[in-house]
Amino acid sequence: MGIFVLDLPYALVHSGYTGLLLLVLSAWVCNYTGRILVSCLYEEGHSGGPRVRVRHSYQDIAETCCRSLCPRCPALGGALVNVAQLLELLMTCTLYVVVSMSLLSDSLWGAVPRLGCSVLSLLLLMPCLLLPDLRPVSTLSLLCSLAHVLISFLVMLYCLSQARSWLWSSLSEPVDPEEFLVSVGVIIFSYTSQIFLPSLEGSMEDRGQFNAMLDWTHGAACVMKTLFALLCSLTWGRDTREVITDNLSPALRPLVNTCLLVKTLLSYPLPFYSAAEILQTWILKDRSSPKPGTLPLPVLLLRCSLLLSSLLLALLLPSFSLLMGLTGSVTGAAMTLVLPCAFHLQLQWHGLSTRGKVIDWCVLVLGVLCSVSGVFCSVKRLLYGI
């Protein structure tokens, strides 16, 4: 579970009991699309032999599909996937900055203005510019996972201590259609991982266990996210805030916010480094790793631009839930629901059963509807907020 699970109680309150169904359904759908996306990396072997891995990334799959649809522009599919990946990673970075600014302001009791908190966040994140490779990122990811376990445990423990005053009626209140559609985007975004799955499957020693790994991780995530969101929404009802830690008591809130700030700062390097790698390969045509202690000037400038872009977006779009809903509706729905099904139908149409084709088409249409409606509502509310 990532930091974005902290917005799920807010999404659940604004989607009612339907939100509980969506949390479970989204886990199954994202598990399914993860499976079929990775299956698109393979082709059947000759004479009924084992499947052969002929592609290595999401981009390779897109280019293969686009090559048959548009022979004159074979690289168009890869470019579109790169743009979608960059948008998702950039918006993820922006969400981390939004949370860190909010937490810094809260930790300093509002004594420092929002612009001052943004400058402080920038200073704390500047070491990301000098990341040489993924090894420091892996260490930071492990540390942020430990911080997240502590945060979730503290929040859920507090909710259980308030069981006598739970508000079951909060989930049965009328749901605003626009709030509901934004909540759908939030829930979808909380499960997005498809852009990392091809490389993850490729790095596994036993790739035959990939589907089992997806089943276990999505099942565990579904249980934890549903339980976390339900406990929090029952505890605070319609007063649930966008970031659930804002609802905690004054005695517990400083400790949890400190842990959350540490986790936010430790989480930022992974999407930042991934986005920088895509830009470095795509724009600078540089696939090499920098030598220890050195960083070429073009790479440094590119990373500076990426860091400043996430900061500016955080200042322009400060609403955590709406920004998360917009990201889930745009890139989340496209990369998680629409494109895997579209690629699967095109590459493996002749080998699919009627049931498989129906499921793919249903998920694809559902993804398009969620994306269009979610983008409309999120943009409308963001513009209204600005």
pLDDT by residue (tens digit) across 148-200? 778 888 889 999 998 898 888 878 778 888 888 888 888 888 888 888 888 88
Contacts 24+ apart (CB under 8 A), 292-295: 292/132, 295/129, 295/130, 295/132
Q: Which of 245, 235, 380 is nearest to 322 (CA)?
A: 380
**What's the structural domain count of the chain?**
1
> Does the pLDDT of residue 288 top 60, yes or no?
no
In the block, tokens 């339900």 appear at 230
DSSP reduced 3-state for 231: helix
> Does the pLDDT of residue 286 top 80, yes or no?
no
What tokens were used for 373?
Answer: 């409606």
CA–CA separation, 339 vs 40, rounded Å? 11
Question: 129: exposed, middle or buried (C-beta count within 10 Å: 0-12, 13-18, 19+)?
Answer: middle
CA–CA separation, 258 vs 154, rounded Å? 12
236-258 average pLDDT score: 84
CATH, residue 111: 1.20.1740.10
CB contact at 8 A, 229 and 11? yes
CA–CA separation, 174 vs 328, rounded Å? 23
What tokens were used for 39?
Answer: 């299956």
pLDDT: which is higher, 206 or 46 = 206
**Residue 259's CB: how many other CB atoms inside 10 A?**
19
pLDDT: which is higher, 198 or 294 = 198
CA–CA separation, 17 vs 145, rounded Å? 29
β-strands 42-43, 52-53: how paired? antiparallel
Q: What is the DSSP string of 289-302?
A: PPPTT---HHHHHH
CB contact at 8 A, 88 and 192? yes
206-224 average pLDDT score: 91
CA–CA separation, 240 vs 162, rounded Å? 14
| 291 pLDDT tier (thresholds 50, 70, 90) | low
Q: Which of 131, 187, 278 is nearest to 1 (CA)?
A: 187
Q: What is the dihedral of CA 267, 271, 277, 283, to 10 degrees?
A: -140
**Residue 308's CB: how many other CB atoms inside 10 A?**
11
pLDDT by residue (tens digit) across 335-375? 899 999 999 999 998 889 999 999 999 999 999 998 888 77
| 386 pLDDT tier (thresholds 50, 70, 90) | low
Alpha carbon 9 to chain centroid, angstroms: 16
Q: Give the pLDDT score at 263.
A: 82
Q: Considering the chain, what percentage of its residues have pLDDT values greater than 70?
A: 91
Radius of gyration of the chain (CA): 21
CA–CA separation, 141 vs 339, rounded Å? 28
Q: Which residue segment(s) compose the domain that 30 sits in? A: 3-385
97-119 average pLDDT score: 79
Query: Dmax of the chain from CA atoms?
Result: 71
CA–CA separation, 72 vs 288, rounded Å? 29
CA–CA separation, 112 vs 163, rounded Å? 36
**φ/ψ (deg, to 5) at 334:** -65, -50
> Does the pLDDT of residue 222 top 70, yes or no?
yes
Q: Give the pLDDT score at 215.
A: 93
CA–CA separation, 384 vs 198, rounded Å? 39
| 134 pLDDT tier (thresholds 50, 70, 90) | low
* Mean pLDDT estimate for the chain: 84
For residue 353, which amino acid is it? S
DSSP reduced 3-state for 131: coil
CA–CA separation, 109 vs 104, rounded Å? 9
Range scoring the smallest mean pLDDT among 87-96, 229-238, 289-298: 289-298
